[in-house]
Copies of this chain bind each other. A is one copy, B any other.
Amino acid sequence: MPSMRTDDDRSVTARALDLLGALTPERPSATLAELARAAGLAPATAHRLVGELLSWGALERGADGRYRVGLRLWRTGLLAPVADRLRERALPYMQDLYEITRENIHLAVRDGDHALYVEKLAGHRSVPVLSRVGERLPLHTTGVGKALLAWSGPDHVQAYCARGLEARTRHTITEGGRLARDLRRAVEREYASTHEEMTLGSCSVAVPVRPDRQAPPVAALGIVVHSVRADLQRLVPALRVAATGLGRRLAEDPDPGVPGRPG
């Protein structure tokens, strides 16, 4: 399909995008040589393409000579529906939750078998958490992930549980039947929870955001707290009020671009 190929079977565009993809949360900055190596490109090719990415603003070069994602790419990324529509609408509800709990407040959407973190509020007193905005964690290891999965319908749950379930701690549920029961219980009691399943010392509670109650959730809202002060049930009413409010807000003004929304 791509019309222009040079020294490998990728198109020019694919190679330029692979240079961007060489920057990751683990390597947010890189030298030209590191970028070329990670993208599998000859130095001269990488040099030329990096020059083009720089001039558009997709990359920028720091005072240390290393390349990073540029401001223009960041600004363009913010036009994605998760940021532009979902996050903007969710933020006031997340603020409300933060104000009354002072804990970590998370908003996630489903991205395949992962919970993708769209927004995260935390104060100085909140328990430190692993998840960062833009990060993905396996659905079964987090509260928001379980909420997204539990309300996605029995077929999705069954398919997910039938796969191998990766352990993140010794408390992660890795047995399919046990996960399926845990998710059924979540739907019955109307919230999902985790107990040190992602991180030792942290528990979470989460509920789905459902503008259309016949469809899978478009997002999940969750709270992560220290295990030692975990009274998860106490947090559920506030969480449910926030998720209902956000669901109503999204239903008022449907946006086919928000992931998971029916068209």
A52-B2, A256-B63 as given contacts; A123 in contact with B92, CB under 8 Å: yes
A residues contacting the other copy or chain, number (CB 8 A): 69
The B-contacting residues of A in range 66-81, CB under 8 angstroms, are 66, 68-81
Closest residue of chain B to A63, judged by CB? B263
* Min distance, Cβ A155 to any Cβ of chain B, angstroms: 20
Choice from B64, B71, B84 contacting A259 with Cβ under 8 Å: B71
Determine how close the nearest CB of chain B comes to the CB of A72; give it in whole angstroms. Answer: 8
Q: Is residue A248 within 8 Å, beta carbon to beta carbon, of the partner chain?
A: no
| Pair B88/A80 contact, Cβ less than 8 Å | no
- Closest-by-CB residue of B relative to A16 is B13
What's the least CB distance linking A118 to chain B, in Å?
9
- Tell whether, in the assembled complex, residue B68 and residue A257 are in contact, meaning their CB atoms are under 8 Å apart: yes
Q: In the complex, what distance in Å separates the CA atom of A57 from the CA atom of B48? A: 23
The answer to whether B122 touches A95 (Cβ under 8 A) is: yes
Given the contacts A13-B52, A68-B79, A78-B133, A63 and B262 also touching, CB distance less than 8 Å: yes
